Chains A and B, each alone.
Chain A
Amino acid sequence: MKRILVVLLFLAVLWPVAYGGGFSDKVKEFTLSNGMRFLVYERPQTPTFAGMIQAKVGSVDEPMGWTGLAHFFEHMAFKGTTVMGTRDYAKEKPILDEMDVIGDQMAAEMMKGPAGDPAKIKEYKAKLEALQKEDLKYVVKDELDRIYSENGGEFLNASTSNDTTQYFIMLPSNRLELWFLIESERFKNLVMREFYSERDVIAEERRMYEDNTPDGYLGEEFGNIAFILHPYRHSVVGYMEDVQTLTKAKALQFFKTFYIPNNMTAAVVGNVKLDEVKKLAEQYFGDLPRGSDPPRPAFIEPKQKGERRVLVKFAAEPQLSIGYHMPAFPDRDNLVLRVIAFLLSRGDSSRLQRDLVTNRKLAVNVYAMANSPGQRYPALFEIDGQTRHPHTPAELEAAVTEHLNRLKTEPVGKEELEKVLNMAEASLYRTSSSAQNVFLAMRLLNNVVIYGDMDADFKRVEAMRTITPQEIMDTAKRVFDESNRTVGTLVRKDEGGEK
Chain B
Amino acid sequence: MRRLRTLAIVAALILAASSLTFAQKNPNDLKFPDLEFKPLKPNAAVIKSGISFYFKEDRESPTVSGILIFKAGSLVDPKGKEGLAALAMTLLKSGGTKSLTPDQLEERLDFLGSTVGAYAGDEYSLINFWTLKKNFDETWKVLSEMLTGPAFDVGRLETEKLKELENIRRRWDQPLMVGVVLYNELVYGKDFPDARRTTSESINGLSVEDLKGYYEKNIKNREVIVAMAGDLDGKAMTALLGRTFQGWTARPAEKPVLPKAALAAKPGVYLIDKSDLTQAVICMGHLGVNRLDPDNVELAVMNFILGSGGFNSRILREVRSNRGLAYMAFGSVDAGRDLGTFFNATMTKGASVAEAIRLIKEVIVGMTKAPVTEAELTTAKKYLQNAFVHRFDSSMAVIQETILNKLMGFPDDYLETYIPRIKKVDAAKVLAMSQRTMHPDQLVILVVGKKSEILDQLKALNMGEVRELPLPKQ
Chain A residues near B5 (CB-CB < 8 A)? 298-299
CB of B326 to closest CB in A, whole Å: 5
Closest to A494 in B: B276
| Partner of B12 from A18, A141, A149, A295 at Cβ < 8 Å | A295
Residues of A within 8 A of B33 (CB): 174
- Say yes or no for B389: interface residue by CB 8 A criterion: yes
- Residues of B close to A178: CB separation below 8 A: 27, 30, 32
Q: Which A residues touch B18, using CB under 8 A?
A: 256
Q: Say whether A308 faces chain B, with CB atoms less than 8 Å apart.
A: no
**Interface flag for A394 (CB, 8 Å):** no
Q: Is the CB–CB distance between B393 and A46 below 8 Å?
A: yes
Determine whether the beta carbon of B9 is less than 8 Å from that of A63.
Answer: yes
| CB pair A208 B327 closer than 8 Å | yes
Point out the residues of chain B lying under 8 angstroms from A374, CB to CB: none
Bound CA span A63–B7, Å: 8
B residues within 8 A CB of A136? Answer: 322
Contacts of A197 in B (CB 8 A): 321-324
Question: Does A466 sit within 8 A of B, measured CB to CB?
Answer: no
Q: A152-B390, A170-B390, A208-B327 are in contact. Are A142 and B321 (CB under 8 A)?
A: yes
B359 at interface, CB cutoff 8 A = no
Complex CA distance for A495 and B276, rounded to whole angstroms: 14
Alpha-carbon distance between A202 and B30 when the two chains are bound, in angstroms:
32
Closest to A293 in B: B12
The reply on B167 being an interface residue by CB < 8 A is yes
Asked if A45 is at the interface (CB within 8 A of a chain B CB), the reply is yes
Complex Cα–Cα for A136 and B323 (A) = 11
Query: Is the CB–CB distance between B394 and A433 below 8 Å?
Result: yes
Q: Would B107 and A349 count as touching, CB distance under 8 A?
A: yes
A410 to B302, CA, bound (A): 63
Which interface class (under 10, 10 to 19, 20 to 34, 35 or more) fits A? 35 or more
Judge if B121 is at the interface, Cβ distance under 8 Å.
no
User: B277 contacts the other chain (Cβ, under 8 Å)?
Assistant: yes
CA distance A75 to B113 in the complex (A): 39
Q: Is B113 touching A426 in the complex (CB atoms < 8 A)?
A: yes
Does any Cβ of B come within 8 Å of A151's Cβ? yes
Contact residues of B between 86 and 113, Cβ < 8 Å to A:
94, 103, 106-107, 109-113
Q: How many A-B contacts at CB < 8 Å in the complex?
A: 291
Compute how far the CA of A203 lies from the CA of B40 in the bound complex, rounded to whole angstroms. 43
Q: Are A154 and B63 interface neighbours, CB within 8 A? A: no
Q: Is the CB of B327 within 8 A of A204?
A: yes
CB contact list, A152-205 vs B, under 8 A: 152-156, 170, 172, 174-175, 177-178, 181-182, 184-185, 188-189, 194, 196-205
**Is B383 within 8 A of A317, CB to CB?**
no
Q: B390's contact among A1, A154, A211, A214, by CB below 8 Å, is which?
A: A154
Tell me the chain B residues, 418-444 only, with Cβ under 8 Å from chain A.
none
Distance (whole angstroms) from the CB of B110 to the closest CB of chain A: 4
Q: With A152-B390, A291-B16, A349-B103 in contact, is A212–B113 under 8 Å at CB? A: no
Chain A residues near B349: list those with CB within 8 A. Answer: 203-204, 207
Known contacts A63-B6, A316-B173, A386-B170; A204 and B389 CB within 8 A of each other: no
How near does chain B come to A276, taking the closest CB pair, in angstroms? Answer: 15
Query: Whole-angstrom distance from the CB of B355 to the nearest CB of chain A?
Result: 12
Which of B156, B175, B379 contacts A149, CB < 8 Å?
B379
Q: How far is the CB of B324 from chain A (nearest CB, A)?
A: 3
In chain B between 34 and 65, which residues have their CB closer than 8 angstroms to a CB of chain A?
35, 37-38, 40, 57-63, 65
Interface string of A1-24 (1 = CB under 8 A from B): 100000000011001111100000
Q: Which single residue of chain B is at the shortest CB-CB distance from A228?
A: B2
Chain B residue nearest in CB terms to A435: B393
Whether a CB of chain A sits under 8 angstroms from the CB of B311 is yes
Residues of B within 8 A of A43 (CB): 60
Query: In the complex, A85→B17 CA distance in Å?
Result: 23
CB distance from B130 to the nearest CB of A (A): 7
Check B9–A149 contact: CB distance below 8 A: no
Given A150-B382, A295-B9, are A253 and B173 also a contact pair (CB < 8 Å)? no
B396 / chain A contacts, CB cutoff of 8 Å: 433-434
- B13 close to A254 (CB less than 8 A): yes
**Which residue on A lies nearest to B67, using beta carbons?**
A433
Given contacts A361-B159, A386-B170, contact A142 B59 (CB under 8 A): no
Chain B residue nearest to A424 (CB atoms) is B113
Report the separation of the CA atoms of residues A1 and B37 in the bound assembly, to the nearest whole angstrom. 9
Flag the segment in A323-331, A333-341, A415-423 that touches B: A415-423
Answer whether A46 and B317 are a contact pair too, CB < 8 Å, given A177-B30, A197-B323, A361-B159: no
Evaluate contact between A433 and B312: CB separation under 8 angstroms: no
Closest to B159 in A: A358
Residues of chain A within 8 A of B167, CB atoms compared: 364
Q: How far is the CA of A82 from the CA of B19 in the complex (A)?
A: 14
CB pair B111–A418 under 8 Å, yes or no, is yes
Contact residues in A for B317 (Cβ distance below 8 Å)? 141-142
Please determine whether A189 and B24 come into contact, CB atoms closer than 8 angstroms.
yes
A348 touches B26 (CB 8 A): no
Say whether, besides A315-B276, A433-B400, A201 and B6 are in contact (CB < 8 Å): no
Interface: B180 (CB within 8 A): no
Assess the B394–A287 pair: CB atoms within 8 A: no
When chains A and B are docked, how far (Å) is the Cα of A350 from the Cα of B396? 29
Between-chain CB contacts (< 8 Å), 22 pairs? A46-B392, A47-B389, A149-B387, A151-B32, A155-B390, A172-B32, A172-B35, A188-B20, A189-B22, A196-B324, A200-B323, A200-B325, A201-B326, A204-B328, A212-B278, A213-B174, A257-B12, A298-B9, A347-B109, A347-B110, A388-B166, A422-B111
- The 5 A-B pairs of least Cβ separation, nearest first, read A152-B386, A426-B113, A200-B324, A347-B110, A142-B311
Apart from A149-B310, A212-B175, A434-B390, what 18 extra A-B contacts exist at CB < 8 Å?
A12-B57, A46-B389, A149-B383, A150-B382, A172-B35, A184-B25, A197-B322, A211-B278, A212-B279, A214-B174, A289-B20, A295-B12, A317-B166, A349-B107, A418-B111, A425-B113, A429-B62, A431-B63
B residues at A contact (CB < 8 Å): 2, 5-6, 8-10, 12-14, 16-18, 20, 22, 24-28, 30, 32-33, 35, 37-38, 40, 57-63, 65, 94, 103, 106-107, 109-114, 130-132, 156, 159, 162-163, 166-167, 169-170, 173-176, 274, 276-279, 309-312, 317, 320-328, 347-349, 378-379, 382-383, 385-390, 392-397, 400
